[in-house]
Amino acid sequence: MTVLDLLGAAEEVHDRAPVVELRGVTRQFPGDPPVHALHPTDLTVRAGEYLSVVGPSGSGKSTLLHLLGLLDSPTDGEYLLDGRPTSGAGERERAALRATRIGFVFQAFHLLPHRTVLENVLLATVYSGVPRAERRERAVAALERVGLAHRLDFLPTVLSGGERQRTAVARAVVARPAVLLADEPTGNLDSASSESVLALFDELHAEGLTLLVITHDDEVSARAQRRVRIADGRLQEIA
Amino acid sequence: MTGFVGALVEAWDELRIHKLRVLLALIGVAVAVAAITGVTAAVQMLSQAYQEQFDRDMGRQVTVAVDAWAQGEQSAPPAALATEYARVLERYDITWASRDLATQVPFRFPDGTRPTEVRAVDPDLGTMQRIQVVEGRWFDDADVDALAPLLVVNRAFLDRLGASDLSEPLTVQLGDVTPVRSRVVGLVEDRWRGAPPEAYVLYDQLTRWYTPDAAAGFYQPAPTLKMWVPPEIVDDLTPRLRSEIGAAVPGWEVGTYDNRSTGGAALDGATRWVALGVGAFALLLGGLGLVNIALVTVRYRIREIGIRRSFGATSGRVFVGVLLESVVATVVAGLVGVVLAVAAVKAIPADVMFGGLQDRPPFPVSAALIGMACATGVGALAGILPATVAVRVKVIDAIRY
> Do residue B279 and residue B198 come from a single domain?
no
pLDDT at residue A9 is higher than 50: no
Residue contact A127–B313, C-beta within 8 A: yes
Taking an 8 Å cut-off on Cβ atoms, the answer to whether B310 and A123 are in contact is no
Chain A: residue whose CA lies nearest to B317: A127
A6 vs B287: which has the higher pLDDT: B287
Of B308, B312, B401, the CB nearest to A107: B401
How far is B91 from A98, CA to CA, in rounded Å? Answer: 82
Mean per-residue pLDDT, B359-382? 81
Does the pLDDT at position B264 exceed 60?
Answer: no
Q: Which of A95, A104, A126 sits opposite B6 (nearest CB)?
A: A126
Comparing A188 with B41, the larger pLDDT belongs to A188
- pLDDT tens digit sequence for B227-241: 999 988 889 999 999
Question: What local confidence, expressed as pLDDT, does residue B347 receive?
Answer: 79
Contact A29, A83 (CB under 8 A): no
Same domain, B173 and B304: no
Give yes or no: residues B106 and B219 share one domain.
Answer: yes
Look at residue B65 and give its three-state secondary structure: strand
Same domain, yes or no, for B103 and B138? yes
Residues B179 and B208 in one domain: yes
> Does the pLDDT of residue A4 top 60, yes or no?
no
How confident is residue A205, by pLDDT bands cut at 50, 70 and 90?
very high
- Residue percentage of chain A with pLDDT more than 70: 93
Rounded to 10 deg, the angle between the B315-347 and B19-58 helix axes is 40
Residue A188 CA: distances (Å) to CA of A173, A197, A214: 20, 12, 14
Smallest CA–CA distance, residue B379 to chain A, in Å, is 24
* B329 phi-psi bin (left φ>0, alpha ψ -120 to 50, beta other): alpha
Residues constituting chain B: 401
Contact flag A99-B10 (C-beta cutoff 8 Å): no
Which range (A21-30, A45-54, B21-30, B329-338) has the least confidence?
A: B21-30
Residues of A whose CB is below 8 A from B311:
98-99, 104, 123-124, 127-128, 171, 175
Number of domains present in the structure of chain B: 2
pLDDT in tens, B53-80: 777 777 888 899 998 888 877 777 778 8
| A114 near B CB under 8 A | yes
Partners of residue B309 in chain A, C-beta under 8 Å? 71, 95, 98
- The CATH number for A131's domain is 3.40.50.300
Last residue of a domain, one of B209, B226, B258: B258
The DSSP line for B163-176 is: -S-SSS--EEEE-S
**Least confident among A80-89, A150-159, B51-60, B242-251:** B51-60
DSSP code, position B392: T
| Domain encompassing residue B286 | 2-56+265-399
Q: Which residue of A has its CA nearest to B309?
A: A95
Say if residue B173 is in the same domain as residue B279: no
In this complex, the residue of B2, B314, B396 whose CB is nearest that of residue A92 is B314
Q: Crossing angle of helices B2-17/B315-347, nearest 10°?
A: 70
Same domain, B187 and B334: no
B272-291, pLDDT tens digit by residue?
677 778 777 877 777 787 78
Residue A14: the pLDDT is 45
Q: In Å, how far is A100's CA from the nearest CA of chain B?
A: 8
How confident is the model at residue B327, as a pLDDT?
87
Inter-chain touch B312–A72, beta carbons under 8 Å: no
Q: Are residues B210 and B355 in the same domain?
A: no
Q: Which of A99, A107, A114 sits opposite B311 (nearest CB)?
A: A99
Domain of residue A9, residue span:
3-238
Domain match, B48 and B65 both: no
B7 vs A156, higher pLDDT? A156
**Together in a domain, B23 and B130:** no
pLDDT at position A91 over 60? yes
Asked whether the beta carbons of residue B401 and residue A171 sit closer than 8 angstroms, the reply is: no
**What 8-state DSSP symbol labels residue A209?**
-
Q: Does A192 touch chain B (CB under 8 A)?
A: no
Spatial CA neighbour of A2 closest among A144, A192, A180 = A144
Nearest residue, CB atoms, B396 vs list A71, A114, A124: A71
What is the Cβ-side half-sphere exposure of residue A193, based on CA atoms within 13 angstroms?
16
Q: Is A9 on the interface with B (CB under 8 A)?
A: no
ipTM rounded to 2 decimals: 0.87
Which positions in chain B have a beta carbon within 8 angstroms of at least one beta carbon in chain A? 2, 6, 10, 17-18, 303-304, 306-317, 395-396, 399, 401
With contact defined as beta carbons under 8 Å apart, do A224 and A180 qualify? Answer: no
- Check if the beta carbon of residue A43 is closer than 8 Å to that of residue A228: yes
Can you give the pLDDT at residue B297? 77
Choose among B303, B310, B316: nearest Cβ to A98: B310
B68/B46 same-domain check: no
For residues B88 and B234, membership in a common domain is answered with: yes
Band the pLDDT of B262: cuts 50, 70, 90: low
- The C-alpha angle with vertex B298 and arms to B295 and B304, in degrees rounded to 5, equals 180
pLDDT band of residue A95 (cuts 50, 70, 90) is very high
Number of domains, chain A = 1
What distances in angstroms separate CA A218 from CA A42, A184, A213, B45, B158, one per listed residue? 22, 11, 11, 80, 109
Contact A99 B303 (CB under 8 A): no
User: pLDDT tens digit string along B121-164?
Assistant: 999 999 998 898 999 999 999 998 888 899 999 999 999 999 98
